[in-house]
């Protein structure tokens, strides 16, 4: 299952080999500075915009790959009906990342922790 990880100054959608085949794409890397918002949703499907091009999709089952529309491009790694982390971006190759994960709260908290200095906030004590 795809993971959202912070790698230095980047946010990465790290995919398994199988997901890379599904997506017809390698891991997705965007600058952390492009992150505008991080949210958790109970259902990822309403967050998907545009049409799949390229990638793999079966509505309600799987949506892995690039999504294109008048908004530009998004990237999705959605499997089933799990909770998802949605990352809204500005000034990156993609406008939105949508990734299902069984641990959405921890993933979102980790991303927010790395954003705190750039947002002028104090990171939580560890």
Q: What does the pLDDT read at residue 117? A: 59
Q: What does the pLDDT read at residue 1? A: 87
Task: Write down how long the chain is.
Answer: 126
Q: What does the pLDDT read at residue 54? A: 94
Per-residue pLDDT of the chain (126 residues; tens, 9 = 90+): 899 999 999 999 999 999 999 999 999 999 999 999 999 999 999 999 999 999 999 999 999 999 999 999 999 999 999 999 999 999 999 999 999 999 999 999 999 999 865 544 444 444
User: What is the Cβ-side half-sphere exposure of residue 116, based on CA atoms within 13 angstroms?
Assistant: 11
Which 3 state secondary structure label does DSSP give 13? strand
């Amino acid at each position: 299952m795809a993971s959202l990880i912070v790698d230095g100054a980047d946010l990465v959608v790290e995919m398994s080999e199988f997901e890379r085949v599904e997506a017809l794409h390698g891991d997705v890397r965007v600058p952390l500075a492009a992150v505008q918002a991080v949210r958790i949703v109970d259902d990822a499907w309403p967050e998907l915009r545009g049409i799949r091009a390229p990638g793999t999709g079966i509505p309600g089952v799987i949506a892995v790959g690039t999504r294109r529309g008048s908004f530009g491009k998004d990237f999705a790694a959605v499997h089933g009906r799990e909770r998802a982390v949605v990352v809204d971006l500005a000034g990156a190759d993609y406008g939105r990342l949508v990734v299902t994960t069984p641990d959405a709260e921890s993933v979102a908290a980790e991303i927010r922790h790395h954003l705190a200095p750039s947002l002028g906030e104090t990171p939580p004590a560890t």
